Amino acid sequence: MSASGGTTMSNRVLAKGIALDLLTSVFATAAVFLAAVATHVFTDMRELFLGMALLFAIVGFGRGRCPPANRWLKALLLVSLCMLVLGFASGAPALMLGLIVGISYAAALVGISGRRGWATNRTRSTATMGTVLAAIGMGSVFGAPVLASRLATYPANRPIPEFSVTRLDGAVVNSSEFKGRVVVLDFWATWCTPCRQEFPELERLYRRYQANPDVTFLAIDVNREGETPDKAREFMQKAGYTIPAAYDANDAVARLRAEGYPHLLLLDKSGHVRLEHVGYDGAERFVENLAREIDKLLSEPQRAPLPQNSTHG
């Protein structure tokens, strides 16, 4: 075979390898989204990080002996399409996306390296892959709760406008009734999957302060996308939740700028929003973190309200 013929053959093999790596990335992307739909893996950052690491370690190991020979390029090809789709479709914060990309790329790289060293030193390859995946696992277990809390929680210091909501028993609740108490307002919807996943934790938090007259809880079903008091009432009764619930008949969610669900507002005794918690991630220590903030506000004296047009915080 001539030199030109050999080069052409090598190029074809390389092109085939690249195409198969990209096709593998397509299947990996499909696997991620099927898992997300079937298991809601995206609602727990620990499971997400571990799942992505295992998936791309397996993918890297499976494709490790095939062209291209450059393992860095090969790892990039294997994760590329999945990362692009996640970036456009997930709506996740940039920091979280960056970690997913880094974890997936590292796992693919270690899988490729493990496969290429398998024939010469199987023990070393196994130990290397196990060590890297264990490190990712430990980082996910201990780091994800901190990251989840940081991404979901926003300190604030702004007065609330006057608003009212209707309890599911028909009674009207006015914001003026909250003065002198620490208040937890949680805006939710029956069609909101993260809201449903947050509710057991919210119920646990409520029961922790149920006997404290200085703390008020109100889970407010938003008047959005076909929500009705009957739907909210049925959801609460079926699940057996006891936290006081209301329906947002007067668009309090807009007055309080609480878009994005679930959306929790923590008010101090003077009627100022002191903390916002948006979304839900199963990795977060939801009850412990919010209980700490509630206890902190309980220890503060009541202060004079800020002017309604204040832009502080």
Q: What is the pLDDT of residue 311?
A: 37
In the chain, % of residues over pLDDT 90: 72
Q: What is the pLDDT of residue 82?
A: 85
pLDDT tens digits for range 121-152: 999 999 999 999 999 999 999 999 999 999 99
pLDDT tens digits for range 31-60: 888 887 776 667 889 988 999 999 999 999
Distance (Å, rounded) from C-alpha 193 to C-alpha 305? Answer: 36
Q: Is the pLDDT of residue 307 over 60?
A: no
Residue 215 confidence class, pLDDT cut points 50, 70, 90: very high
Distance (Å, rounded) from C-alpha 127 to C-alpha 129? Answer: 6
pLDDT tens digits for range 231-245: 999 999 999 999 999
Q: What is the pLDDT of residue 303?
A: 67
Across the range 189-198, mean pLDDT stands at 94
